[in-house]
Chains A and B, each alone.
Chain A
């Protein structure tokens, strides 16, 4: 057997791949579920915090800034481990799935709050004053005048950050979530063969590469023309 044959036999073993591809597929479903939950809840929570911050209530803003700073400085894996292994001591036992979801949603919330807030503050005061003087309320001004302009600004940094955090779903494998990497790792140790891992790697590329390419396109479309 030539070296090449042995390489293929080891890393792309047809028999092993045939046996374990359903596991990888079910891992992909879990990864997609986690990713969608994280993106939706993280971005909504981030936007909600940014809107609350616009109310300019001093103690509330300090609290928001502290929470945001906290989740920006802690590594996501530390947050996952903290929730998964720490909360049971307080009587709560979130599953690995829930721990990963909550952790990454908090991280995305923190980053997106900063981006949304920067977008909101970048709208000149004059626009607020003009809208309010035409009789719009605070919330009407925020939602109808400021936010549409602010959101456009935030799209390029937001897409990048969202992809980077969503990739973190792979961290769930540390707390026994059966997403792609978890499935691939256990299939590898059951079959003593790295082919499932190669399939898992391919699955990530299939899921995330289109998103990265789309993000590149979005970045150029919404880029600031100077």
Chain B
């Protein structure tokens, strides 16, 4: 069993390949998480404009990307756009797809956070002479982020897991590297190793989240 799924010789041979993949996964996450947060913040700020001409298109945008599988979006960008004469690399496609997809999710979370801050606080801030922007950045956003922190973290976990889609468009992240190693060694060991690496990387976050979520739901009673 160990011989097949966690062969020590194979692990020793492919470890550098998998390690390079891990490094790229971390790097990719460090790029796409802020990108998604930025997109989400833009959407959430737009949502504070309570005009039907802003509200409805915004809702349609968010629902569209909640309904659209991220892999389909990625394939559309990677394989569809070249027909329009626009050839982006796998990495750029991942960045754009994540900006659109995870931005919609972060946007919904941040919108809920902003709505959870009572309007009286903005009014109080404005009456002391703060500008709208200052009231937003100094009063509303810090509280909004704190109120939805578990949801933000939970979505971030999903985003990091989603970087494994990069393997489909040849971005050399952890899963891609493991599959390369698998095709060379004809052994499932590299995939098992990659799974263990993902687990060790993300387990602490899962533990933290499970604590936060239990507390949040229990606290509502």
Q: Show the binding face of A for B, using Cβ within 8 Å.
A: 7, 10-11, 68-70, 72-79, 81-82, 85-86, 89-90, 114, 117-119, 121-124, 153, 163-164, 167-171, 173-174, 180-181, 185, 188, 193-194, 197-198, 200-201, 204-205, 208-209, 211-213, 216, 224, 226
Contact = CB atoms under 8 A, between A and B. Distances in A.
Nearest to A6: B84
A122 B64 contact: no
Contacts of A180: 72
B170 interface: no
B199 A73 contact: yes
A78 B69 contact: no
Nearest to A90: B4
A158 to B, nearest CB: 12
Given A77-B167, A124-B221, A201-B76, A85 B182 contact: yes
7 smallest A-B Cβ distances: which pairs?
A: A208-B67, A86-B188, A75-B161, A170-B69, A73-B202, A75-B164, A118-B217
B63 A78 contact: no
A194 B80 contact: yes
B79 interface: yes
Contacts of A123: 221
Given A122-B221, A164-B158, A188-B79, A86 B71 contact: no
A122 B217 contact: yes
B175 A75 contact: yes
Interface string B128-140: 0000000000000
In this complex, the member of A7, A75, A77, A188 whose beta carbon has the largest number of chain B beta carbons within 10 angstroms is: A75
Range for the number of chain B residues in contact with chain A: 35 or more
In this complex, the member of B179, B206, B220 whose beta carbon has the largest number of chain A beta carbons within 10 angstroms is: B206
Contacts, number: 146
A182 B210 CA distance: 35
A196 B4 CA distance: 40
A197 B80 contact: yes
Interface string B66-81: 1111111001100110
Contact of B72 (A73, A201, A226): A201
B79 A78 contact: no
B168 A174 contact: yes
In this complex, the member of B83, B192, B207 whose beta carbon has the largest number of chain A beta carbons within 10 angstroms is: B83
Given A73-B198, A76-B161, A194-B80, A168 B69 contact: yes
B101 to A, nearest CB: 10
Contacts of B210: 68-69, 72, 114
Contacts of B206: 69, 72-73
18 contacts: A10-B84, A11-B84, A68-B210, A69-B203, A72-B210, A73-B201, A75-B163, A78-B198, A85-B188, A89-B4, A153-B217, A181-B69, A185-B75, A188-B79, A200-B72, A201-B68, A204-B72, A226-B220
